[in-house]
Amino acid sequence: MSIKYIATSQLPTPWGVFAMHGFEDTETGKEHVALTFGELNADDAILGRIHSECLTGDALFSLRCDCGFQLQTAMQNIAELGQGFILYLRQEGRGIGLLNKIRAYELQDAGANTVEANERLGFKADMRQYDMIKPMLEQINVTRVRLMTNNPRKVKAMQQEGIEVVDRVPLQVGKNRYNEAYLKTKSTELGHMMSEYHFNDEQS
């Protein structure tokens, strides 16, 4: 197994004190983090999220995507419930990396949508992998989840790794005039479940 548990520390946040568990993929050198809140029992269906790194949205407050909004809302939901987890995976730009993400943004500025931009750079629309989630969840004692996501690929990834997805919890937050076309593309071309959103017909 290439995923190695490293250490655990406290992480005070505006929503409460999470435990932060560090992991290393010894094959790729990538470092991943699991955040947990409260006591996690393997018999319980634990509220949680798989969140792929998004420097622009998570740390730089970008309005081009909904990532930062989703992360903050997930952390708030977990803290209010008193129990839950987030797997924070180092897969920037749906797996293409930060600099290629900036190149994709440049193409989007010229009119391409988020899928077209990745493909013009020679990548698939979504390059992310989820084979690291099982050992991470085993370390934090999670086998059954209520998954906060709009992405059916994440539900399928959980199920393929033997994790029972008891419920999918929609996480439709952060829609604005800068990301409406992006969100519509995720819905129409990537199959994300966004029934609560209403998109303008002129947006592509």
Looking at residue 5, what DSSP letter applies?
E
134 annotated as belonging to a binding site for a ligand: no
Give the model's pLDDT for residue 67: 92
pLDDT tens sequence across 62-121: 999 899 999 999 999 999 999 999 999 999 988 899 999 999 999 999 988 888 888 999
Residue 130: strand, helix, or coil? coil
Which of 113, 139, 176 shows the shortest CA–CA distance to 1? 139
Asked if residue 19 is part of any domain, the answer here is yes
Tell which residue, 89, 127, 118, has the closest CA to residue 182. Answer: 118
Q: How many structural domains comprise the chain?
A: 1
Quote the CA–CA distance of 29 and 34 in Å, as a whole number. 16
Tell me which of 40-44, 185-189, 195-199 is least confident: 195-199
Q: Is 183 contained in some domain?
A: yes
Whether 58 is a known active-site residue: answer no
In a domain, 102, yes or no: no
Classify residue 34: in a domain, yes or no: yes
User: Does the annotation place 180 within a ligand binding site?
Assistant: no
Active site residue 25: no
- Phi, psi of 50, deg, nearest 5: -95, 120
| Residue pLDDT, tens place only, 126-184 | 888 898 999 999 999 999 999 999 888 899 889 999 999 999 999 889 888 888 877 78
